[in-house]
Structure 1
């Protein structure tokens, strides 16, 4: 293990540090999301689990930094910093774009001989399930991007109504959409860890067949759990998802 750096503290948010934790959960936010989205998870799993919420550059206290615009760059940076963390069995949880970044980070860790225990992929179709005709949101004007955010209902109404806050978030939103929409994955790209896919039954971004297609991308088991709701179904089912994670870490 390498010595932790200041850069690691920028990327990794520990809201409930626990020196006695026996396992680690790394959480990857959605497009336009930030580390505090996973505060309820950190609170629910502490002190048994060391919960790290990733903070991408270009948002909140990192707003002055240039956001990254491709999945590979994000995965490379996160892979490197995770290698410097104290050694514990590690599980990944990613929602939407975060699921894709988590998948690519697992691939890099496994290639270097650092296995991941489990991947929870939430609100995201399988890595190779590319939709024809899509992928232009990051090319829209500011109002077009904000319209998409409102359509998916992933931001609190109080924030959506604050034009100053939303305009400040636009650079990171655009960068995240560019990362999601330009990502391509070979059909034979796989991880070795088990994958649990969480999906909303009315999510316009992920059909059930697209969620099930994750089974093509793991040599381990693949389980799909469906919840009532759209793309941000997880905000309405925090308790159930935290229970699912507690069950996972109790095994």
Structure 2
């Protein structure tokens, strides 16, 4: 089981203790909390950004990776408990969107409705694809080929063998939990859901992203950006602006 340690799970790169809301950022497969450092800096002090660090990487690299998306979600919820004194929005990219969905389910089951779920670069949980090639079962070269194809990692890092030895276990472990994930039917969320995708992303089609609407009784919106799976790297300013607007709009709606 994943050990529960709020200090290990949550990184605050630009604390905003007086902000009225919090944004919880959940990384992609192989990603880490530091991926969201620019988001934290851009959104402070209006929003307090909590960046989630999964086990098995960076300062948690000596911990085993999680065995499932659900296990990660439970760990995140336990770590978030002290931070639920104000409304939270969940923002997850790729694998992080799956974790965000399961976190939102747990929170709503416990009586805490998130301000919203922002699902980036991921098809709706109920939409599946035939898995003819399981990435987590590839050898190291095959795993690196997948990383290069998605263009989310600096190519220079992939040439550093020492660094690769450090990050490949987390990447493989994350792909394993993603590829083993099975959607469990249940009540839809009640909070707003925003889907963000890149128009050339091989991991999610426009139709697969639109299916997020089936997972909430609240408002659903979708925005398509130019770019591939990591469109948010080149479109960072516009993505952050959209997230800020989404938080402001949903918070105002709740207040009314």
TM-score (norm 1): 0.94
Matching residue within 45, 65, 68 for 2:66? 68
* Residue in structure 1 matched with residue 93 of structure 2 by the alignment: 95
Deviation at 1:170, TM superposition (A): 1.1
Using the alignment, how far apart are the partners of 1:97 and 1:189 within structure 2?
21
* Residue in structure 1 matched with residue 110 of structure 2 by the alignment: 112
Pairwise CA RMSD: 1.5
- 1:31-60 deviation per Cα after TM superposition (whole angstroms, max 9, x unaligned): 000001111110111011110000001101
Matching residue within 131, 138, 149 for 2:129? 131
CA contact (8 A) 2:136 2:176 kept: yes
State how 1:6-45 maps to structure 2 within 5 Å: 7-45=5-43
Deviation at 1:246, TM superposition (A): 2.0
Q: Residue 6 and residue 138 in structure 1: after superposition, are their counterparts in 2 closer, same or farther (change >3 A)?
A: closer
- 1:73-127 deviation per Cα after TM superposition (whole angstroms, max 9, x unaligned): 0001111111122501110100000000000000000000011011100000010
CA contact (8 A) 1:194 1:221 kept: yes
Q: Residue 6 and residue 200 in structure 1: after superposition, are their counterparts in 2 closer, same or farther (change >3 A)?
A: closer
Deviation at 1:69, TM superposition (A): 2.6
* Residue in structure 2 matched with residue 150 of structure 1 by the alignment: 148
- Please give the secondary structure, in 1, of the residue aligned with 2:156: helix
Structure 2 unmatched runs, 5+: 250-256
Matching residue within 216, 219, 222 for 2:220? 222
Deviation at 1:133, TM superposition (A): 2.8
Structure 1 unmatched runs, 5+: none
Q: How many residues align?
A: 247
